[in-house]
């Protein structure tokens, strides 16, 4: 497509227009614009502009009256956004910063509005708005994840008596408590919450006052601006301040790990909800039916959670590829951080809330969980029985394996073998050997920290609850 030759100079209305004399390719205008997605930070951009204007007033760039006019004008701009009456001008409002400043000039006059940007660049302006927005979103994610963990611990405490098979390689291994399974994921989500809380201060650092890349020439008080905006600290290098997108990458890396845990949690529940297992049933609110088979109840919520983990990973990988080879400092490639950030954060936020809804409405069937247990899952307990008699474990493991083989040969469950049959395998089995075939007793022997006994599970619940307080 050939460049525009119709004499229009849309760039004259843009923040960078003075240098250019020719028109822009119309496709390039839309290709370059970010207003359709970065307008989400209209409030943060206005907050940052007011704080920056106050700092300019404090060093004499603006008079008190000029600052008052800017602050009042921005309040009107904010109200227009809030009431959905703000009119975006295509081809002029290429981004939220241009739009807000253009509208401010219409309200209070370009003479005063034109002083606002003194010493500031869109480079530090956009980084400020993004950090303010992301900081607020991460705090919401903290609330969502905390709520999810509260549901999880509540269920773990209420349903502590439910017993079920524990699996390795998706094969029945040893008996556990349903609560222990819940807390296995609770531990992972607890680590995710800790990582999130470590991430927020690194996001919440102020770049404002860095200018385009070399800093502000009017000795503006960056610390005062940061304090007004609620930042924890300053980014100490102006070149880093305008070009850094590690705060978004780290957020997406964190989100990818969280979504991986959500995906695995979902996969287990998908399996447990099948007719072959029948351990759980999803509420209708988080299931769908089949267009052909009326008997079907599909776990679409869990399948979407599993699928969207890949989407979040994709946002992280996409941004990583966009920034990996950039020279310092600001490059337009960094505009790609916007859509990956917005999509990754929204998908993660929605996913945590859906997972919370699924777990809070889930029905469990303890009787089916118990029925899935089988005596061969106590083979290790049989070996441990002999260990307590002083027999080396490697030997008891072999003996227990022979008992398993005998039960298979006789086509009976292990607990149906007689004491005499067991003693024929090894004479050290006593008359009390049958006590090994007790699921509850087996579980409650695991009293070590982190174990599946009732005592250990309660300790895990209390540890998690303490963090959530």
CB 132 within 8 A of CB 47: yes
> What does the DSSP 8-state code read for residue 42?
H
- Nearest Cα residue to 433 out of 390, 392, 378, 371: 378
User: What are residue 177's phi and psi, to 5 degrees?
Assistant: -90, 140
CB 407 within 8 A of CB 382: no
3-state secondary structure 288-336: ECCCCCCCCCECHHHHHHHHHHHHHHHHHHHHHHHHCCCCCCCCHHHHH
Residue 172 β-bridge partners: 167
CA–CA distance, 163 with 367 (Å, rounded to integer): 9
Q: Which of 36, 161, 233, 290 is catalytic?
A: 290
Neighbours of 24 (CB within 10 A): 19
User: What are residue 269's phi and psi, to 5 degrees?
Assistant: -65, -35
Q: Which residues of 55-78 are buried (b: 16+ CB within 10 A; e: fewer)?
A: bbbeeebbeeebbebbbebbeebb
51: exposed, middle or buried (Cβ count in 10 Å: 0-12, 13-18, 19+): buried
Whether 180 is catalytic: no
Neighbours of 426 (CB within 10 A): 18
Whether 290 is catalytic: yes
CB 279 within 8 A of CB 343: no
Bin 84: left if φ > 0, else alpha if -120 < ψ < 50, else beta: left
Q: Which of 169, 291, 411, 427 is catalytic?
A: 169
CA–CA distance, 372 with 185 (Å, rounded to integer): 21
Angle, nearest 10°, between helix axes 64-82 and 42-58? 180
- Residue 281: which H helix or E strand, with range? strand 280-281
Which residues are identified as catalytic?
169, 290
């Amino acid at each position: 497509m050939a460049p525009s030759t119709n004499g229009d100079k849309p760039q004259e209305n843009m923040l960078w227009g003075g240098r250019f004399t020719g028109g822009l390719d119309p496709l390039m205008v839309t290709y370059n614009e970010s207003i359709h997605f970065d307008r989400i930070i209209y409030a943060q951009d206005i907050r940052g502009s007011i704080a920056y204007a106050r700092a300019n007033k404090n060093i004499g760039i603006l008079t008190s009256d000029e600052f008052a006019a800017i602050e009042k004008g921005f309040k009107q701009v904010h109200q227009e956004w809030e009431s959905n009456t703000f009119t975006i001008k295509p081809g002029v409002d290429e981004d939220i910063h241009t739009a807000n400043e253009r509208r401010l000039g219409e309200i209070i006059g370009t003479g005063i509005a034109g002083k606002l940007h003194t010493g500031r660049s869109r480079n530090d302006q956009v980084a400020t708005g993004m950090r303010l927005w992301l900081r607020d979103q991460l705090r919401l994610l903290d609330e969502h994840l905390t709520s999810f963990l509260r549901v999880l611990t509540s269920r773990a405490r209420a349903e502590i008596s439910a017993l079920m098979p524990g699996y390795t390689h998706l094969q029945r291994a040893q008996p556990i408590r349903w609560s222990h399974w819940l807390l296995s994921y609770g531990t992972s989500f607890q680590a995710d919450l800790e990582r999130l809380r470590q991430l927020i201060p690194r996001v919440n650092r102020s770049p404002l006052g860095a200018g385009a890349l070399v800093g502000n020439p009017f000795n503006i008080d960056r610390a005062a601006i940061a304090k007004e905006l609620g930042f924890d600290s300053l980014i100490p290098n102006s070149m880093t301040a305008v070009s850094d997108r590690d705060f978004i990458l780290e957020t997406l890396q964190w989100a990818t790990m969280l979504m991986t845990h959500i995906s695995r949690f979902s996969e287990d529940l998908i399996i447990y909800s099948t007719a072959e297992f029948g351990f759980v049933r999803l509420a209708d609110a988080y299931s769908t039916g089949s267009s052909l088979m009326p008997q079907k109840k599909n776990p679409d919520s869990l399948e979407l959670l599993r699928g969207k983990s890949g989407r979040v990973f994709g946002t992280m990988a996409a941004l990583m590829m966009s920034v990996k080879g950039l020279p310092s400092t600001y490059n337009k490639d960094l505009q790609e951080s916007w859509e990956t950030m917005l999509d990754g954060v929204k998908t993660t936020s929605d996913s945590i809330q859906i997972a919370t809804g699924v777990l809070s409405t889930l029905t469990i069937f303890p009787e089916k969980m118990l029925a899935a247990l089988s005596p061969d899952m106590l083979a290790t307990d049989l070996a441990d029985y002999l260990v307590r008699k002083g027999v080396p474990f490697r030997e008891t493991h072999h003996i227990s394996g022979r008992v398993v083989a005998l039960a298979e040969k006789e086509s009976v469950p292990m607990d149906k073998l007689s004491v005499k049959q067991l003693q024929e395998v090894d004479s050290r089995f006593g008359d009390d050997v049958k006590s090994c075939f007790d699921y509850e007793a087996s579980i409650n022997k695991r009293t070590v920290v982190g174990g599946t006994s009732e005592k250990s599970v309660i300790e895990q619940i209390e540890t998690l609850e303490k963090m959530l307080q």
